[in-house]
Amino acid sequence: MIAVGFIANSNAEVIEHESADAIQTVAERYALEQLATDSLQQVTAEASALDTRLRLKKCSEPLQTFGNGTEIRSSRVTVGVRCTGNSPWTLYVPVTVHALAPVVYTSKPLLRGEIVEPASLEIRQEPLDRLPRNALQSFEQVIGMEVSRAMSADSPLSLGNLRSPKLIRQGQEVIILAEGAGLAVRMAGNALKNGAKGEVIPVKNSSSGRVLEGRIVSESTVLVGF
């Protein structure tokens, strides 16, 4: 690391330079403060070595750090360090974050359309720089979801593997709830399409035969407007 240096100019003025250690330390501290650490273990940050030829005038004010304004979730980030004193300067410092992050894996094969249960899952700790793409990190994110394609055991789960379960199936008898203008009317009907909660599907009024578009609000109720 670079220690504080001194250079004498032609007028015998002594110029003090900022320590590389100080710059790296504030960059590492910033990276750790911005890191989403709730679920991480063994977290450390390591700033890259600075060019030994670097000569930045020692700042008359405390060094400031900045980033892109979002939580750090990557193993490699760039932290801005700047001086706002009498001789301002800005430097960008690469920082490597080392940590272990939880990843949800399948503990047994899962079939397409199967509902995910706790017994089918396990949590493994993976290095942050080797996380599977779009990996999910907690059981709460996946339990009760439906598998969108068959998966083998020991596979990391992501939202690309899952979908909301179908609450209503085509041909199922449903309650058509019509709301509007302070009124609510319930009618019997049949679903004409499969659907998950929040999806809009066509339903047929059993009495009138009229087909309506409604949003699924539960496993037996579809909401339509007047």
Q: Which single residue is written with the structure tokens 């790296």?
A: 24
Both 80 and 25 in one domain: the answer is: yes
Domain-terminating residue out of 57, 73, 98: 98
Both 79 and 116 in one domain: the answer is: no
Both 72 and 60 in one domain: the answer is: yes
Q: Are 148 and 112 in contact (CB under 8 A)?
A: yes
Token output for 151? 């998966």
Per-residue pLDDT 10s for the chain (226 aa) are: 334 444 445 555 567 889 999 999 999 999 998 886 678 889 999 999 998 888 899 999 999 999 876 666 678 889 999 999 889 999 999 999 999 999 999 999 999 999 999 999 999 999 988 888 888 999 999 999 999 999 999 999 998 999 988 889 999 999 999 887 778 899 999 999 999 889 999 999 999 999 999 999 998 999 998 7
- CA dist., res. 91 & res. 111, Å (int): 52
42 falls within a domain: yes
Q: Which single residue is written with the structure tokens 């960059």?
A: 27
Q: Which of 2, 95, 7 is nearest to 52 (CA)?
A: 2
- CA dist., res. 223 & res. 220, Å (int): 10
Q: Which of 40, 97, 95, 39 is nearest to 65 (CA)?
A: 95
